[in-house]
């Protein structure tokens, strides 16, 4: 199945060699790569232990399954490692103020950084989508928001893993957890703009 491109963007599909590279990489390298996708050692270990994967679809399905099985403690650990994304330099100051206030309200209510997957949003719509998402999710009770945040993390991890598997030369698309580097197509922040498969 092809990964759809955002308007004006072309995607290089993952090659069998890329998945083979993931399958044959040393365990510590694989584990480190997986932690840049989602900071959950249990999630990373589970995916790494089930190598080799015949193709990217199988790898992403395993990532989804492992994410669905995150315990509350695993979820809390993964959320604690997420970082707030920087806004584009050309964002006007009122947007910075609005986003900072919305993030602060969200963190005060739920105790963790706001995460959202933006794979289907055009870049110029991302800020509005984030603000709308925070505001609407502030109405959730903590249990509802835990479910929503877990789903957003799953989607983020899936997109980050697909980007890492595609390798270098791809559009910067995802945010690694705090302390992670930018290998595998990741950038600082908690948003994702690689479309889901």
pLDDT of residue 187: 33
Contact present, 14 and 194 (Cβ < 8 Å): no
Q: Using 50, 70 and 90 to split pLDDT, how confident is the model at 122?
A: confident
Two tokens, residue 96:
């910075």
**Strand ranges (E), 50-134:** 116-117
Does residue 197 or residue 39 have the better pLDDT? 39
pLDDT of residue 12: 43
Cα–Cα nearest to 135, from 170, 165, 168, 98: 98
Cα–Cα nearest to 39, from 85, 79, 99: 79
For the segment 27-45, the average pLDDT, to the nearest whole number, is 96
**Predicted model pTM:** 0.76
- Degrees, nearest 5: CA angle 144-150-152: 105
Two tokens, residue 17:
């060699």
pLDDT of residue 92: 75
pLDDT of residue 15: 55
């Amino acid at each position: 199945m092809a990964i759809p491109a955002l308007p004006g963007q072309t995607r290089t599909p993952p090659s069998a060699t890329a998945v083979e590279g993931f399958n044959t990489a040393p365990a510590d390298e694989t584990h480190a790569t997986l932690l840049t996708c989602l900071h959950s050692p249990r999630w990373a270990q589970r995916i790494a232990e089930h190598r080799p994967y015949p193709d990217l679809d199988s790898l992403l399905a395993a990532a989804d399954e492992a994410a669905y099985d995150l315990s509350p403690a695993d979820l809390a650990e993964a959320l604690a490692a997420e970082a707030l994304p920087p806004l584009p330099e050309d964002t006007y100051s009122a947007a910075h103020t609005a986003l900072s206030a919305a993030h602060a309200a969200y963190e005060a209510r739920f105790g963790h950084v706001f995460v959202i997957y933006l794979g289907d949003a055009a870049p110029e719509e991302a800020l509005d989508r984030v603000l709308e998402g925070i505001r609407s999710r502030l109405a959730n009770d903590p249990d509802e928001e835990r479910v929503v945040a877990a789903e957003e993390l799953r989607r983020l991890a899936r997109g980050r893993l697909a980007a890492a598997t595609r390798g270098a030369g791809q559009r910067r698309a995802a945010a690694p957890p705090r302390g992670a580097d930018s290998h595998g197509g990741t950038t600082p922040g908690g948003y994702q703009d690689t479309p889901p498969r």
